């Protein structure tokens, strides 16, 4: 029951303009970037994905989702009101973070699909490319949810610190990029892999990062 209550709390807060306005703006930018790429290069769908969409829009919309639900605070503070009425705080936190992971995965998948559709000339394979990109984007969004879930133990400062570290270290293709979302998301969407690993490996790492971040952050309970 506490998991359901936590998820309901997150869904209610995600209905606010603080989340859906940035999400709509990101969708418009993804489409605009795709159209620009198509006008200059008929085979540039990868450039549309690996440029502003994955590099900027996916992590920032994930961050916007967490900020909308947490409002500068830690996950502990978010669930404290319901926790004072007897609900299990660990399960409340799990519900909140699972709902956020679902939301960020859905939005990231949609952004990547839109970027590919806008960048691709209609024809055979267009739907298949969009579907594959949507799955890659969804896994990337879930990975960022895991990362931000860990950061949310320390509120806004934790989220911003881990997002900055992901940008700095995950942008490389060396060993320092292994524990970060960005490098594996890039690999999954057609970019340079981390340590020449496969896309299957990248997908597995993103799933592990998402699951570990959500479960570990929730299971540790109040700080």
Q: Which helix (H) or strand (E) holds 115?
A: helix 89-119
pLDDT at 222 over 50: no
Three-state helix/strand/coil letters over 131-193? HHHHHHHHHHHHHHHHHHHHHHHHHHHHHHHHHHHHHHHHCCCCHHHCCCHHHHHHHHCCCCC
CA distance 179 to 131: 26
Which two structure tokens, joined as six digits, stand for 81? 């009101």
Per-residue model confidence as pLDDT tens digits over 28-58: 999 998 888 777 765 566 777 888 999 999 9
pLDDT the model gives residue 36: 83
User: Into how many domains does the chain fold?
Assistant: 1
Q: What is the pTM of this model?
A: 0.93
Range of the domain at 26: 2-219
Per-residue model confidence as pLDDT tens digits over 64-93: 999 999 999 999 998 887 766 667 889 999
Q: What is the mean pLDDT of residues 170-194?
A: 94
Specify the range with the lowest mean pLDDT, choosing from 48-52, 121-125, 178-182. Answer: 121-125
pLDDT at 142 over 80: yes
- Residue 39's CB is within 10 A of a number of other CB atoms, namely 10
pLDDT at 223 over 70: no
- CA-to-CA separations, 67 to 20, 37, 60, 63, 64, in angstroms, rounded: 12, 31, 10, 6, 5
**Percent of the chain predicted with pLDDT > 70:** 93
Could you tell me the sign of the dihedral formed by the alpha carbons of 155, 156, 161, 164, in that order? positive
Which two structure tokens, joined as six digits, stand for 47? 């450039």
Q: Give me the residue label for tokens 């267009």.
A: 126
């Amino acid at each position: 029951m506490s998991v359901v209550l936590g998820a309901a709390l997150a869904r209610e807060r995600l209905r606010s303009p603080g989340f859906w306005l940035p999400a709509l703006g990101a969708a418009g930018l993804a489409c605009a970037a795709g159209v620009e790429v198509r006008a200059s290069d008929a085979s540039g769908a990868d450039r549309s994905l690996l440029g502003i969409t994955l590099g900027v829009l996916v992590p920032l919309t994930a961050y916007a989702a967490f900020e909308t639900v947490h409002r500068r605070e830690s996950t502990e503070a978010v669930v404290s009101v319901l926790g004072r009425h007897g609900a299990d705080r660990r399960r409340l936190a799990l519900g909140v973070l699972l709902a956020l992971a679902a939301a960020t995965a859905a939005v990231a998948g949609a952004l990547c699909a839109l970027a590919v559709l806008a960048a691709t000339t209609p024809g055979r394979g267009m739907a298949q490319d969009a579907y594959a990109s949507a799955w890659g984007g969804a896994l990337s969004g879930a990975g960022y949810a895991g990362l931000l879930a860990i950061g949310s133990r320390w509120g806004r400062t934790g989220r911003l610190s881990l997002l900055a570290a992901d940008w700095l270290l995950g942008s490389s293709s060396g060993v320092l990029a292994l524990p970060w979302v960005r490098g594996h998301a890039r690999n999954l969407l057609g970019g340079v892999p981390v340590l020449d690993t496969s896309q299957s490996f990248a997908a597995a790492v993103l799933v592990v990062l998402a699951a570990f971040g959500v479960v570990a952050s929730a299971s540790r309970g109040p700080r």
